[in-house]
Amino acid sequence: MNQTLQEPEAAELKTPDLEVSDLKDPPETPDRPPTPPHPRFLKPQRVAFVQACWHREVVDECRVAFLDEIETRGIARAQVDLFEVPGSFEIPLHAQLLAKTRRYTAIVAAGLVVDGGIYRHEFVADTVIKALMDVQLRTEVPVFSGVLTPQQFHESAVHVEFFRKHFVIKGIEVAEACAQTLHSLERLRSQVAAGIV
């Protein structure tokens, strides 16, 4: 992600003096077609959400957006267990132990890996992603990654705010992927059990 971030310029806002007669009713909102309902799950789903605490103010945005979106897709917040680890490097072991319990139908990981410390951020991010894929393949419990590593991250208000917004998008995307995959696996497993596949 090679993006240039600039400090937002402060714009002077001037509001004209308004008379009561100048105020009009707001325009009517056009009717939107109803959002198609998401498919229902055949069996109860339980998800583990494992979050790194490093840069919590950024990563929290992923968790909040995930919980909101997953609920619209048929998995109640009460069915999502939250776990915290110090950093992203610690996520895979937790994911593996949670998957081995067979209590969870999916595991979601969220973290922000940045420059600094004793490890290069590319190494940590690659290691975490590969380890999460290994957990998924070894246990057959799907694991989803909201672990991100920006090309450049500075401890400035502008960067923090940019990545907070970006993690909202990632939270929604990981919830969509989680729900769609769980539906797909339900169909596939029922087809395998019926001898269709």
Burial of 148 per CB tally in 10 Å (0-12, 13-18, 19+): buried
Catalytic residue among 77, 102, 120, 187: 120
Per DSSP (E only), the strands in the chain are 47-52, 80-85, 106-112, 143-148
What distance lies between CA 4 and its chain's CA centroid? Answer: 24
Catalytic site includes residue 120 = yes
Which residue numbers are catalytic?
Answer: 120
